[in-house]
Structure 1
Amino acid sequence: MFWQDGQLIYNGKYKIEKYLGGGGFAVTYQAMHTKLNRRVVIKTPNISVQRDPDYPKYVERFKKEAQMLAKCCTDSHPHIVQVFDFFEADGRYCLEMQYIAGQSLWEYVQRQGALPEAEAVKYIRQIGLALVDVHKKGVLHLDVTPLNIMLNFNSAIPNSGKAVLIDFGIAGDMSPPSTFSRSFGNKAFAPYELTYKGIRHPAVDVYCLAGSLYYAITGQRPTYSFNRKYEQEELVPPKQLVPSLSDAVNQAILQGMALEAKDRPQTMEEWLNLLSSSQANLTQVILISDVGVNYQNLENLLKAGKWKAADEETTRVMLKVAKREQQGWLTYESIENFPCTDLRTIDQLWVKYSNGHFGFSVQKRIWLECGGKVDYETECSLGDRLGWRVKGSWLSGWYKYSLKAPVGHLPIPKPFHVLQKHSFFTSYASSLVSRLVNCNL
């Protein structure tokens, strides 16, 4: 260790609380920002590598990590660790990052054992959504392992675990790798083309994340990709280790961990869609909420086939999630920030108890079939298909609350502020459907 517990650094701006750990290149400390009274994490190169002839190259890579992380967290993504500052103290470059109270997915599984399917998929999907955003910025993480997935829990809210992606230490852009040689990735979770050839592309992160899901569900590390490639060792299907695992999730993992990159989903969105479709096949919907909303009454109403009451309950819980109960409608901002976890729980309940006849994801699929555009022509086609528009006129209350209604007819997103007949549908197409796409429903 370089700094001691209680030591003040950077002119007293930070107080070191404890050493957290590190690898061959960098170490991390828990610290307190003395001016803001905010707990942070400080990452800095390991003092031992300062004697390495390649130390200047390590420092440049560390600076690049800071820049990439700052680029990735520009929009304050809830599932990407935030970077606050980059500075030099005691002759060492330092990266100040968000402190995440909790434990890594690796530690959590080591203590809890293999996780239930729904819980594991929830955490992995959250990281997948973060990686979609990272990839859009032209960055690859390349080390998406259970050790780099932190879980934060709110003890006051059941099922409130949130996954956050950390450690962009070996992240790279999507350009060809440089001649600077270093060992990439955790070999238990990385594809052979990364660890032994340094080849980088989005399908690398797909493999790593699928491997992390394998571990979360089975409690075991997957077979090394190098051994699969060159020693003819087989990857044990997760369903062989966990017989209760759904066929769809088992298949999503195997496709994501295909040995050759060409056989995997080529984008993170494609792989997340495999997980999304798998959730519709679950025999039980786990009533998870990021904000502590209880969905038991909604499930009871849907199970009893009380479609109108369930539609009204959907309105009630959505307003509660968005903290818009007093206003009685959702704003564009509240829709854009609506928790994907809650939206998915509501959707899964509708899909399950209507046998795929109703649900937000059903409406999104039909919207895509209508062209997937945010324009009035698409909205009219959507309204015609869903039965919200009859003979060129939008309905205003005469909806069909039965399975004889058109596919996707329910739920009806009434929490919108309706100013004129078609503005309700304009709001729907431009905001809620957009949120469904972002949440990969």
Structure 2
Amino acid sequence: MAVLDMARHVPLYRALLELLRAISTSTALVPLLLPLSGDPSQEEEEEEHSEGQTSVGMLLAKMKTCVDTYTNRLRSKKDKAKGVVKPDSSDPEPEGLTLLVPDIQRTAEIVYAATTSLRQANQERKLAESSKKATTRPKPMSILRSLEEKYVAIMKKLQFDTFEMVTEDDDGKLVFKVNYHYMSQVKNASDANSAARARRLAQEAVTLSTSLPLSSSSSVFVRCDEERLDIMKVLITGPADTPYANGCFEFDVYFPQDYPNSPPLVNLETTGGHSVRFNPNLYNDGKVCLSILNTWHGRPEEKWNPQTSSFLQVLVSVQSLILVSEPYFNEPGYERSRGTPSGTQSSREYDGNIRQASVKWAMLEQMRNPSPCFKEAGGACQCHISFPCVCVLLSDGGNLGHHSQKHFS
């Protein structure tokens, strides 16, 4: 849920919050704020996996996290800013959002209190009932689902974080502690900060902290500098059923001084020392060609729009439009050969080369020499790369699945 979206629909959100507060006061209606139960016969299994379910209460808690993070980051940005903050009369602080934030925080507390009370009552009832039920051995598919949920739970904690990428020396000059493609742009940028840019970056950071794509197939991890939200690094894991599957691809990101009027700058760092072109849209020098980045010609509606485009859209575009199952056909003009014998053969050969490069540079190299920003997520890379192997082992059936579950517990 994006703060940017909340700011544009304040009356709607305030009306919904008022409704939720009313529901919280009714004992008969409070269950509506919890995950909806399905088939009563599956009640026990659903309770076991309720952590992965969505409910109104959970969405509201997520909403509160968004606005809390936004206000904290905006306050921190103002406190730590060493340059002059330029007022921007064309983009004033949304007054409606100022009213909405305490409304969200108060409603979240009320809903949490009501749902916690109901959960405790339900837990006591189910504990009494569970003692009467015989323990059954889990089925392999149930184990697999449990492992996938455990994977998501572990990775979620590693998705968004800060890392000290740049500091200042005694003379006030910037010193980078990690390799960063846009080092020169950052050092040459003006010290003056736009209030609109700072606010937009805070909104973007909140959205990223709660809404990054996450699945056992493909996930996105983001690190921003501890004090500068305009400096980021991104790790995208290659989607399943593509030549990039299980690979970890690192990108450097910089938000220019006129952001969001101009799109963010994005450069691929996983290039095998500039020796591999992983996709027609990913050059071996790291250039990323996408319409939304204005680095590729496209229809007007596909290009960067300061009002409606976001960095999250950029990440999803890389994940879904570039890291695809048949990247050969991303090359302009090659789409016409799709479905032909020659096109199919060329695509297979291209995919084979990409798979080989992905194993060498996006898997093995990432595990041997992970970026310092993702070092604590180095385990995440290993977990992501090894997870499909575990799933294959589980296909052996009950006994192996049973031992695998014990191993991952």
- Using the size of structure 1 for normalisation, the TM-score is 0.23
Query: Is the strand fraction higher in 1 or 2?
Result: 1
Query: Is the helix fraction higher in 1 or 2?
Result: 2
- Using the size of structure 2 for normalisation, the TM-score is 0.24
